[in-house]
Amino acid sequence: MITFLKILRLLPPEIAHGLALNALNILYRTRLLRFFYVKPKANPQIFAGLTFQNMLGTAAGLDKNGDYIDCLGELGFGFLEVGTVTPEKQYGNSKPRVFRYFEENAIINKLGFNNKGVDHLLKNLKSKKYDGIVGVNVGANKWSSEKERVQDYLLCIEKVYKHADYITVNISSPNTPKLREFHNEKNITGLVDAIDLKVSELNIQTPLLLKISPDESKESIDRIIEVVKKSKFTGIIATNTTIDKSSLSNSKLRDIDGGLSGEPLLKKSTDTLRYIKNKSDNQIPVIGVGGVMDSQSFNEKIQAGSSLVQIYTGFVIKGPSIVSEILRN
């Protein structure tokens, strides 16, 4: 398995990602996965009225279309978050669009919500065998106008809410033009009000979370906290990737477009998490994500006030063994 991971490092990032997940799926389907990975013992946690088998889950982006729910679930994650999914399938931005830097434990991506569309994801949700918690991360199509983007979120929510354990509204990807403008006062209020109306109209009981950017000012975060408090949203996911690359030790990497994730994001994302918990007087539940590479960074999120923790880059760079390594400590 170590040799296989070394080979993956030599391949282009997107090819390596697909190959790794397909290999996991083959091992799962042939019932061989259990010989490579031992599931950690359950440590149940309650969040948003749901019972999670443990505090560690996958972040959106790892399994965009829900094609690998069952094999990822077999690794011992406490929950999975699939997506980001949009109403219609889209290719995303042009390649190359993912850049790995093993010496920095970092990834820069400018994928742009590449996915097969919400209907494809819905089929996978309906047919999954995994009985753990599965959240769905929803976004807007790149070509949608400002008003159409609100409708994109509503359409995705309406389609998946009966088959998702929770729903994350993603307003924080830096790779879809103007998407982060939803952090602005007028836009965030309009979006949340529209979602609240849809939730009331359909009597949706599925918990809703808002995934935010780590690049917002304190004033912007204060505003988001107040909007969430008054809304039907349950909590916040902090945070998405950052466009601030000043934390990279290799200055040549700082001019590459896209969102930075991995170890260089840890401090910024955790600071945002801690600020939200303190500013809201612990009234808003938060899922922490960004820079979790080991048990130490996992524990940093917990100590900052995170109820649950997600990983993405740590899993990509270190492989599936990171799950048991984190959870057994």
Ranges 129-133, 150-154, 171-175: which has the least confidence: 171-175
Please determine, for residue 56, whether its predicted confidence score (pLDDT) is greater than 60: yes
Q: What is the DSSP string of 155-210?
A: HHHHHHTTT-SEEEEE---TTSTTGGGGGSHHHHHHHHHHHHHHHHHHT--S-EEE
Average pLDDT value for residue range 276-297? 93
pLDDT at 191: 93
What confidence tens digit (pLDDT) does each residue in 12-49 have?
788 888 888 888 899 889 988 877 777 778 889 999 99
Higher per-residue confidence, 16 vs 51: 51
- Only one residue has tokens 């995303």, namely 92
Active site residues: 173
DSSP 33: G
Higher-confidence residue of 254 and 290: namely 290
- Cα separation values, 145 from 18, 68, 178, 244, 302, Å: 31, 31, 10, 26, 38
pLDDT at 9: 74
Confidence at residue 257, expressed as pLDDT on a 0 to 100 scale: 84
Domain 2-327 in CATH 3.30.450.20? The answer is no
160-216 pLDDT tens trace: 999 999 999 999 888 787 888 888 888 899 999 999 999 999 999 999 999 999 999
- CA 2 to mean position of chain CA atoms: 26
Alpha-carbon gap, residue 215 to 210, rounded angstroms: 15
pLDDT in the model for residue 81: 98
pLDDT more than 90, % of the chain: 67
Q: What is the maximum alpha-carbon separation in the chain?
A: 53
- Asked if pLDDT for residue 68 goes beyond 70, the answer is yes
pLDDT score of 329: 65
Say which DSSP state 75 is in: T
Spans of all domains in the chain: 2-327
d(CA 263, CA 161): 33
pLDDT grade, residue 2 (50/70/90)? low
pLDDT, residue 12, reads 75
pLDDT(3) > 80: no
Could you write out the DSSP letters of every residue in 132-153?
SEEEEEE---TT--HHHHHHHH
**Whole-number pLDDT of residue 326:** 93
Degrees to nearest 5, angle at CA 252 with 250 and 258: 100
Integer Cα distance of 32 and 155 in angstroms: 39
List C-alpha distances in Å: 192 to 207, 222, 273, 297. 14, 15, 20, 32
β partners of residue 46: 51
